[in-house]
Amino acid sequence: MFKTGSVRYLTGDGAATSQVEGETMNEQSVHRIQAWSDRKGQNCSREINQLADTNILRCLQCGSCSSGCPFVQAMDLPPNVLIRHLHYGFLDETLRSGTIWICVGCDTCASQCPMAIDIPAVMDALRQKSLASQQPASQPEIIRLHQAILRSIYRYGRAHKLEIMLRYKVRHKAWFEDLDLGLRMLSKRKLHLLPSKVMNVGQVQSLFSKQAHL
Amino acid sequence: MTYQHRSRLPFFPGCSLVTSASENYTSLQAICLQLGFELDEVRDWNCCGSSSAHCLDSGLAASLTERNLALMPTDGPCLVACPNCYKRLRQTFLRIQCSHEERSSFERRWGRPFPERLQLQPFLSFLAGQDLGFLYQGARTALQNLAYVPYYGCMLARPPIMNREPSHRGVMEKVLGQLGGRALPWRHSSKCCGTFLSVARPDLVTPMVQTIMDEAEQAGAECLVTACSMCHLNLEVRCPAGHGLPIFHFSELLALAAGVGNPGEWFNRHLIDPRPLLMAKGMLDRSGRVRH
């Protein structure tokens, strides 16, 4: 067979070019790559569709999602390009991307998508696959913040902002970042010393799975 | 002028309203009381999981919202103050509603029937359904031609499962317009505030909030009005200290115009103090009390 690692592709315009190193490109090998890529892409798209309960194969590559996204400048793969990667089966590239962590799930893309693809749900599916794959993620500080928030929900049933901030800043080793802001917020009673708690915290804790990423 | 008859309205506040945005809670309470509703917090509600639960664990996000749904009344309206909580609750509600399997698993898990006839109401939709005539009476000029830009953030954007629901774009402008406010056109009314990135990636959110503030100022606005406490916090926190227009919670302006509640207490909690603006407009006197 051919070497899969050397398949190169272009991002942005949705066109994929394939090149196999050490093998003369003839019509037959192009067809073989096409068939392999199609199969890989179909499996990948099917898996994501199932996890996200949507259909990414409806994507027209119109780019509405990327043009509306408030954080597209900070993404390495714009949403439509990320979806195109999945069509071609380049799952690992999407799992390593910063895009999946930068996305805040504001639903702007989903409400603008003419094919009603639930793009934030696709991002959720990819984030969770990325965590499960144990590969180093590209935005560890964002994951740490999510973990700090979940930890607070586990302890109190509600989000306790002061503890979340402290825990996050400590783990992030950014002791003095936003210190003046924190003090201003404390003085305006924007950050409460004591959490607001759920009475039946045990019930909330039972909702967390054993392998919860705290 | 208050209603003689008051009915109790089940209410889901969300984590922000009971802590960092308690001024939003008390002003909302004051205006609802004026409309004839006493807010009745859902007993022992929990966090809807915010953005973090669905990012890291979809199953957990679903269970957290399901627990809340199981605590809500089986019939009738339930006011949901936080637009983000509303999206999570409504999404889960619709998903369970249209699946027999999900419904029976909900009923097995929580030991009660699925609240089929529960009407989750975000604040804007609740307000759009009220007769506000009596609120407007005598308060037609209450806001003294206050020039503002409405900031909806991402609350009007919805996942595909909710895209048949009515949009409430324009509710803030309509109601505040009747109370003597003046909405200005601008292009950032539905731009996301950055939610958790404000903490994890301030380098991305600070310039964005700066642009939002600059353009509000260029549009000629004296302040911003938002109906989401998360947006309110992010805009206040990430605009450089001393450079920024005051930001009001929608509920604060409503209560201020109706002359109910204790505005001094709310405004004391803002990082950008709106009192100098309100005093200059003649809506507050020099001691910070409401002028009628």
Specify the amino acid at residue A123: M
Question: What are B151's strand-pairing partners?
Answer: B226
pTM of the model: 0.89
Interface of B with A in 115-134 (CB under 8 A): none
Q: Given an 8 Å threshold on Cβ–Cβ distance, is A153 in contact with B57?
A: no
> Of the candidates B54, B154, B163, which has its C-beta nearest A124's C-beta?
B54
User: Dihedrals φ, ψ of A82, to 5°?
Assistant: -60, -45
Q: Given an 8 Å threshold on Cβ–Cβ distance, is A117 in contact with B160?
A: yes
Q: Provide ipTM, 2 decimals.
A: 0.92
Give the pLDDT confidence score for residue A18 in this predicted structure: 44
Query: If pLDDT is split at 50, 70 and 90, which confidence band does B250 have?
Result: very high
Beta strands B75-80; B37-41: pairing state:
unpaired
Both tokens of A48, joined, read 């994501």
pLDDT > 50? residue A82: yes
Distance linking the first and last C-alpha atoms of chain A: 43
Burial label, B145 (beta-carbon count in 10 A; 0-12, 13-18, 19+): exposed
User: Which strand (E) or helix (H) includes residue B39?
Assistant: strand B37-41
Interval A173-187 mean pLDDT = 81
Query: Tokens 């054993």 map to which residue?
Result: A210
pLDDT > 80? residue B291: no
pLDDT digits (tens, 9 = 90+) for B25-42: 999 999 999 999 999 999
What distance in Å separates residue B5's CA from the closest CA in chain A? 32
Residues of chain B with C-beta less than 8 angstroms from the C-beta of A193: none
Give the pLDDT confidence score for residue A6 in this predicted structure: 37
User: Dihedrals φ, ψ of B38, to 5°?
Assistant: -100, 120
* Chain A / chain B CB contacts < 8 angstroms: 164
pLDDT > 60? residue A23: no
Contact B199/B234 with Cβ under 8 angstroms? no
Which letter, b or e, does each residue of B220-253 get, where b requires 16 or more Cβ atoms within 10 Å of its Cβ?
ebbbbbbbbbbbbbbbbbbbeeeebbbbbbbbbb
pLDDT digits (tens, 9 = 90+) for B105-137: 999 999 999 999 999 999 999 999 998 888 888
- The whole-angstrom separation of Cα B106 and Cα B100 is 10
Burial label, B286 (beta-carbon count in 10 A; 0-12, 13-18, 19+): exposed
Q: Given an 8 Å threshold on Cβ–Cβ distance, is A185 in contact with B271?
A: yes
Both tokens of B31, joined, read 């205006």
Residues of chain B with C-beta less than 8 angstroms from the C-beta of A181: 237
Nearest to B133 by CA among B270, B7, B1: B1
Our CA angle for B53, B58, B63, nearest 5°, is 80
Q: Given an 8 Å threshold on Cβ–Cβ distance, is A107 in contact with B159?
A: yes
pLDDT > 80? residue A37: no
Q: Given an 8 Å threshold on Cβ–Cβ distance, is A204 in contact with B154?
A: no
pLDDT digits (tens, 9 = 90+) for B49-104: 989 999 999 999 999 999 999 999 999 999 999 999 999 999 999 999 999 999 99
Q: Given an 8 Å threshold on Cβ–Cβ distance, is A158 in contact with B55?
A: no
Query: If pLDDT is split at 50, 70 and 90, which confidence band does B4 have?
Result: low
Contact B148/B223 with Cβ under 8 angstroms? yes
Q: For chain B, where are the alpha helices, taking DSSP H only?
A: 15-18, 22-34, 50-56, 58-71, 83-97, 100-110, 123-128, 133-136, 171-178, 197-200, 202-218, 229-238, 250-258, 263-267, 275-280
Our CA angle for A33, A37, A40, nearest 5°, is 140
Q: How far is CA B33 from CA B29, B30, B124, B143, B258, in A?
A: 6, 5, 16, 20, 11
Give the pLDDT confidence score for residue A192 in this predicted structure: 86
pLDDT > 60? residue A16: no
